[in-house]
Amino acid sequence: MEREHVLVALVENKPGVMQRISGMFAKRGFNIETITVGPTESQELSRMTLVVKGDERVLEQVQKQLNKLVEVIKVSDVDPNESVIRELCLIKVHTPDQHARAQVVQYAHIFRAHVVDVSPESLMIELTGDSDKINAFIELMRGFGIKELARTGTTAMQRGAKIIEPKK
Amino acid sequence: MVKMTGGKAILESLKRHGVKVIFGLPGGAILPLYDDIYKDKDIRHILVRHEQVAAHASDGFARASGKPGICMATSGPGATNLTTGIANAYMDSSPVIAFTGQVARPLIGNDAFQETDACGITLPITKHNFKIMKTKEIPQIIKMAFKIATTGRPGPVHIDLPRDVQSEETDFDFEAEPEMPGYKPTIEGHPLQIKRAAEIISEAERPIVLAGGGVIHSNASPELSVFAEMLGSPVTTTFMGKSSFPENHPLALGTIGMHGKKAANKAVTESDVLIAIGCRFSDRSTGNVQYFAQNAKIIHIDIDPAEIGKNIKIFVPIVGDAKRVLKSLIERLKEIYKKGKTTAWVEKINQFKKEFQPKMDYDEIPIKPQRVMKELNSIIDSNTIITTEVGQNQMWAGHFLEVHHPRQFISSGGLGTMGFGFPAAIGAKVARPEATVIDVAGDGSFLMVEQDLATCVLEKIPVIVLILDNRRLGMVSQWQELFYGGRLSATLLGESPDFVKLTEAYGAKAEYVTRPNEIRPALERAIKSNEPYVLDVIVDPKEHVLPMVPPGGRLDQMIG
Ligand SMILES: Cc1ncc(C[n+]2csc(CCOP(=O)(O)OP(=O)(O)O)c2C)c(N)n1
C-alpha cells in the first residue's frame, strides 16, 4: 500500500553527502516529499529526516539503497504513531484590515501558532506541528490570501527510551 | 616521518597495495603526478591513446586477475573520457580505481581551464568517490578506495586530485587506519536463512542453480561445483556468470536469457527450486519477470542486500559472500541431503540439451559466425581469455563459446559498451601475460577504439582481435530486420576501412579470413606470432543471433 514513510538517517558530516543522497533518489526514481538535515550532538554526524512516498517494496529499496552509501551510517523507519513528528512553517498572510487581522490572530491562537511579524498589510505566523496540522492551517489562510509560505520539511524523533544511534 | 610530494604519496600508497601497472594519459592538471611517475622505477605506466581505453583496460585487468585495476586521466576532457569506462565497471561490479587531475584548490569553482566537476559526474557511476583536499590524507583515502573497491560488492572508486595537492609536500603516514563507520559489508550468511534454504533445497526435485558474476568475484567456482554435484543440480549462468562453472560439465546448461541456451531457459522455467548466486536478475536474464521461474521457490544469495527483492520476489534471501554462503550451505546439506531425488530431472535436462543442440558446422562462404565460434572452441584451453565487444559478436560468443575456468570470459554485460573488448583484452594480457587473449569483435565496436593498436605495438601487448566483419552495426540491424520492417536506418557501415591495411599502418599484423577452413590456421598463426594481430573474418552480414527471447517475452518462448 502506498503511503508516506518517515525515515531518519545518520550520516557522516562530510561535504557532498546531501548530494549523494539526493542523487541516489533521482537516479532510482524514488520520490522524496521532504528532506531535512542538521547537526547532531556529535560533530561527526548529521541527521536527516526523509519523507518518502511509496509501497513497502519501494520503502525497502529506499532503505537498502541508502544503506549502500558509504557515508550513511544508519537508517531507521520511524513509526509515526510512536514518534514526535514536526515541521516548522512561516506564513505571511494578507491582512489589509482590522477584521482580517483579528480573524487571523484568532486562528493562529487556536493552532497555537505565533504572530512573529506585523506590517500594515500582512502578518507573519510561525507554526509548528505535523504536516496535517500545517496543511489545515494553510487551507484556512488561503481565504485571506497567502503572500509567502516557507516550510522546513519534516523532522522526527521516536518517543520514549528508544534512541537512533550509530551501530556499534 | 618521511616527507614527499602528494604525487609520490599516491604512488607509494598504490605500491603498498600491490599496484604495478597504471593505464593512463596525462594532461595539465595531472602533470605533477606524472612527474613522479617518470621518476618511479617500480610502476609500469601504459600510455593509451584515449582515456576510455585506460578505464576499460584497467577493468579488463581487474576481471582477469581479480585485483583492482588502476587508470588515470587529466581533468576536464580527460575525466569525461574516462567516464564510459567507469560506468561500465560500475554496471559489472568491477574493482577499478580511477584517478583524475583537477584544477588547483584555489581555482576550484571558477570554471578554470579544463575544470569539470568530475566527482559530480562520477557520483552516480561509482561505488564511491573522493576529492582529496588535504594532501596528508592521501594514504588514508587510498586505503579506503581499495577497501571499498574490492570488498562487499566490488565496484569502481574515483579519486579527484587537485593539481596543487599532487605537488604539495606532505608527511607520509601510511599507518593510520581510516574509519568508515557506514561501510560494513555483510560477508557471512545468516545461519537461520541458511538453515531454511538448506531445508528447501533438500526437498527439491527439480533444482537449478543460477550462477552470476558474483560467483566469479568471490572466487566461489570450486564451491559451486561441489554444491552442484552434491545436489545433482543442473547449473546455468547469467551472461556475467559465464565461466563460473565449467561448460563441459555434465550438469552445465550454459547461459540463460535473451540470447541464452534454449535448454537453460526451459530448465529455469520448469525448475521447482532456483538457487540464484551472485546475480541481479537483469531484464536480459529474466525475460518477462512475471513468467520467470514461475514454478520455483527462489533462494537468492547475494552480497548486496539491495539486489534482493529488487526485480524478483524471493522466497529465501541470504545476504553474504557467495563463497562463504556456499560453504555453509554445503556443510548444512551434508547432514540432511539424500541423493537421488533429481535423477529424473537431470535426465530431462539431458534430453533438453540433446534436443536443442545449436548448429555450428556451417561450410558456407561468406563464413557463418557460428562456424567461427566452433573453430574458436577448438583452440580455447585453460590458458585462453576471451573478451568480446558488444552486439552480435558478443551474443554469439556468449551462446556458442565453451569456457571452463573463471575469469576466462570477459564482456561488458550491464552497460553493453561497444569498444570495451579490445581495451579489456589489453588489460587482461597485461595482467596475465602468459595467457592467449582474444577479443571477439564486431567491426563497429572495434572502430571505436582501434587507435590503441598503437599501444599494443609500442608496449608489446600481443592481443588478438578477431573481427566478425559484417560491415554493419549488426545487432541493431538485426532488431531492425526483426522488429522494424527491415528498415536499416543508419546501421550499414560500408566498405571503409580496410582492417588489414589499418592494422598494418600501426605496425601490427593482420590477415583476411574468408573461408571456414582458414579460420583455425589463421588463429594458430596469430597465437604463434606473439604479436598484436588482427584477423578480419568476413562473415555473412545477414546472419541473426538466434534463438532469442523477444523484448518483453518469456524465457521459454524463444524465437528461432
Ligand atoms: C557505445 C555504444 N554505442 C551504441 C551502442 C548500441 N549498439 C548495440 S550493438 C550495436 C552494434 C554493434 O556493431 P558491431 O560492433 O559491428 O557488432 P555486431 O553486432 O555487428 O557483431 C550498437 C550500435 C552500444 N551498445 N554501445
In a domain, B325, yes or no: yes
B-chain residue closest to A166, CA distance: B181
Q: Using alpha carbons only, how large is chain B's radius of gyration in Å?
A: 24
Q: What digits encode the pLDDT tens for the residues B229-246? A: 999 999 999 999 999 999
* Pair B48, B147 in one domain: yes
- Nearest Cα neighbor of A144 from A110, A80, A78, A97 is A97
In a domain, B186, yes or no: no
pLDDT at residue B435 is higher than 90: yes
Compute the distance from residue B267 Cα to the ligand 1 centre, in Å. Answer: 30
Place of cell 548448429: B359
Residues of chain A numbered 37-66 and touching chain B (CB < 8 Å): 57, 60-61, 64-65
Percent of chain B with pLDDT over 90: 98
Residues 6 or more apart in contact with residue B375 via CB below 8 angstroms: B516, B519, B520, B523
What CATH number is attached to the domain comprising B97? 3.40.50.970
Q: From atom 18 of ligand 1, which residue's Cα is the shortest distance away?
A: B474
CB pairs under 8 A between A and B: 39
Compute the distance from residue B473 Cα to the ligand 1 centre, in Å. Answer: 5
- Nearest Cα neighbor of B201 from B329, B303, B73 is B329
**Can you tell me the mean pLDDT for B275-291?**
96
CA torsion angle B210 B212 B217 B218 (round to 10): -20
The strand ranges marked E within B85-234 are: 96-102, 128-131, 157-162, 169-171, 207-211
Contacts of A71 in chain B (CB under 8 A): 182
C-alpha cell at B114: 579544463
* Pair A53, A120 in one domain: no
What CATH number is attached to the domain comprising B209? 3.40.50.1220
The strand ranges marked E within B359-462 are: 384-388, 409-410, 436-442
* Pair B262, B394 in one domain: no
C-alpha cell at B113: 581551464
Q: What digits encode the pLDDT tens for the residues B243-262? A: 999 999 999 999 999 999 99
- Interface contact flag, A64 B128, Cβ < 8 Å: no
Q: What digits encode the pLDDT tens for the residues B155-184? A: 999 999 999 999 999 999 999 999 999 999
Counting ligand 1 atoms within 8 A of each CB, the residue from B418, B440, B446, B495 with the most, and so the one to mutate, is: B418
Per-residue CA distances from B455 to A123, B100, B430, B452, B501 (Å)? 72, 21, 12, 5, 17
Reported confidence tier of residue B1, pLDDT bands at 50, 70, 90 = confident
**Residue B194: its pLDDT value, please?**
97
Burial degree of A158 (CB within 10 A; 0-12, 13-18, 19+)? middle
Confirm or reject: Cβ of B474 under 6 Å from ligand 1: yes
In a domain, B360, yes or no: no
In a domain, B33, yes or no: yes
Q: Is the dihedral of CA B240, B244, B248, B254 positive or negative?
A: negative
In a domain, B560, yes or no: no
B-chain residue closest to A14, CA distance: B130
* Count of other CB atoms within 10 angstroms of residue B221: 23
Residue A64 has its nearest CB partner, among B124, B180, B305, at B305
| Chain B residues contacting A via beta carbons under 8 Å | 119-120, 123-124, 127-128, 148, 180-184, 304-306, 309-310
Q: Chain B closest CA to A132's CA: distance in Å?
A: 32
A76 near B CB under 8 A: no
DSSP string for residues in B57-88 = HHHHHHHHHSS-EEEEE-STHHHHHHHHHHHH
In a domain, A149, yes or no: yes
Q: What digits encode the pLDDT tens for the residues B437-454? A: 999 999 999 999 999 999
What CATH number is attached to the domain comprising A121? 3.30.70.1150
Percent of chain B with pLDDT over 70: 100
Query: SS3 of B26, please?
Result: coil
Counting ligand 1 atoms within 8 A of each CB, the residue from B422, B475, B543 with the most, and so the one to mutate, is: B475
Domain that holds residue A35: 3-78
Reported confidence tier of residue B358, pLDDT bands at 50, 70, 90 = confident
**Residue B337: its pLDDT value, please?**
86
Counting ligand 1 atoms within 8 A of each CB, the residue from B258, B400, B420, B445 with the most, and so the one to mutate, is: B445
Low-confidence ranges of chain A (pLDDT < 50): 168
Residue B445 identity (one-letter amino acid): S
DSSP string for residues in B519-551 = HHHHHHHHHHHTS-EEEEEEB-TT----SBPPT
Contacts of B183 in chain A (CB under 8 A): 70
In a domain, B399, yes or no: yes
The strand ranges marked E within B414-503 are: 436-442, 464-469
- Interface contact flag, B304 A11, Cβ < 8 Å: no
In a domain, B198, yes or no: yes
* Pair A92, A151 in one domain: yes
Cβ atoms of B407 and B416 within 8 Å: the answer is no
Compute the distance from residue B390 Cα to the ligand 1 centre, in Å. Answer: 5
Asked which of A29, A55, A78 is the last residue of a domain, the reply is A78
Q: What digits encode the pLDDT tens for the residues B506-529? A: 999 999 999 999 999 999 999 999
Burial degree of B294 (CB within 10 A; 0-12, 13-18, 19+)? middle
**Can you tell me the mean pLDDT for B347-363?**
94
* Pair B533, B406 in one domain: yes
In a domain, A164, yes or no: no
**Residue B536: its pLDDT value, please?**
98
* Pair B253, B135 in one domain: no
Confirm or reject: Cβ of B413 under 6 Å from ligand 1: no
In a domain, A168, yes or no: no
Q: Compute the mean pLDDT over every residue in chain B, rounded to the nearest whole number.
A: 97
C-alpha cell at B426: 589489453
* Pair B99, B158 in one domain: yes
Q: Which atom of ligand 1 is nearest to the CA of B84?
A: 1
CA torsion angle B33 B36 B38 B42 (round to 10): -110
Domain that holds residue B506: 369-538
pLDDT at residue B190 is higher than 70: yes
* Pair A8, A67 in one domain: yes
B-chain residue closest to A71, CA distance: B182
* Pair B55, B108 in one domain: yes
The length of chain A in residues reads 168
Q: What digits encode the pLDDT tens for the residues B99-150? A: 999 999 999 999 999 999 999 999 999 999 999 999 999 999 999 999 999 9
In a domain, B488, yes or no: yes
Q: Compute the mean pLDDT over every residue in chain A, rounded to the nearest whole number.
A: 95
* Pair B234, B115 in one domain: no
Confirm or reject: Cβ of B439 under 6 Å from ligand 1: no
* Pair B17, B75 in one domain: yes
* Pair B223, B162 in one domain: no
* Pair B350, B373 in one domain: no
Q: What digits encode the pLDDT tens for the residues B314-354? A: 999 999 999 999 999 999 999 888 888 999 999 999 999 99
Q: What digits encode the pLDDT tens for the residues B13-67? A: 999 999 999 999 999 999 999 999 999 999 999 999 999 999 999 999 999 999 9
* Pair B295, B420 in one domain: no
In a domain, A122, yes or no: yes
Compute the distance from residue B118 Cα to the ligand 1 centre, in Å. Answer: 27
* Pair A95, A126 in one domain: yes
* Pair B348, B416 in one domain: no
How would you write B288-327 as a 3-class SS string? CHHHCCCCCEEEEEECCHHHCCCCCCCCEEEECCHHHHHH
